[in-house]
Amino acid sequence: MPKLEIIENADNAAIAQWFAARLKAALATTADDIAITVPGGSTPFPIFDILAHEDLPWHRIAVWPGDDRIVEEDHPASNVGKIRARLEPVGARIVPLAEDARPPHFAIAWLGMGGDGHIASLFPNTDPQATDPHPVRRLTPDPLPPEAPFDRLSLTIPALTDSDEIVFVIRGDDKRAIFEAAVKGEHDLPVARLLAAARHKVTCFC
C-alpha cells in the first residue's frame, strides 16, 4: 500500500485549487506535455468548471477519461463529451477512449468510486485484475445502472496505476467506509485491488 493522505471536508473550490497545484508541479518537472485521467459521474464536473478558470498552460495537458459509456459524444451519458465541453475551450487536448488505445503514463490519475466499490467502469462483476495485459477493456456492468444502461470502455488497473500519483474524490459516509475498508484490505472489491497495486502516493478527498 502506498502512502495515503486523507483530506476531509474540502469543497469543490479547494479540490480544484489542489489539483491545479499538482498539475503545475507536474508540468514543472518536464518540458514535455503531460497526461492525466479523470472520472465521469456527477461529482467531478462542478470541480472541472472551477478548474477551467485556473491559470494553467492547458495546451500542454492531455485529458483522458478513465471510462466512458459507448455512446456518441453529444449523448447526455457521454463522459468525454462533458469533459470536452469544459476543458477543451481553455486549450486542453481531450482524448476519447478506444478499445485499441495505448494510454500514456499519467501524471495524475483522478478516480471516483461507486457504492459497490467500482472504479472507472471496473465493476465487481468484471473481475478486474492488476495483471491485466490490456490497458483498455470493453465491459458490461451487471447490473446495468438504470440511468446509464450502456456498455463501457474503461482503463484497466495497470493503466490507472501507471501514474505518478492517484487522487480520489469520494462523497458520503457509506463510500468512505468502503474506501477505508479497502485500504485495510478488508475486502476484494475493485478499489481494493487498485490500492493494492498502486505504488505511488494516493490522496483521498473524503
- C-alpha cell of residue 135: 490497458
CB 91 within 8 A of CB 64: no
Domain spans, the chain: 4-205
Q: What's the pLDDT score for residue 2? A: 66
Q: What's the pLDDT score for residue 177? A: 96
Helices 79-87 and 44-51: crossing angle in degrees, nearest 10, is 20
Q: How does DSSP assign 179-190, residue by residue?
A: HHHHHTT---SH
Q: Give pLDDT tens digits along the chain (206 positions).
A: 668 999 999 999 999 999 999 999 999 999 999 999 999 988 999 999 999 999 999 999 999 999 999 999 999 999 999 999 999 999 999 999 999 999 999 999 999 999 999 999 999 999 999 999 999 999 999 888 888 899 999 999 999 999 999 999 999 999 999 999 999 999 999 999 999 999 989 999 99
**Structure letter (DSSP) for residue 148:** -
Please tell us whether the domain made up of 4-205 is placed in CATH 3.40.50.1360: yes
- The pTM assigned to this predicted structure is 0.95
Coil, strand, or helix at residue 19?
helix
- C-alpha cell of residue 51: 478548474
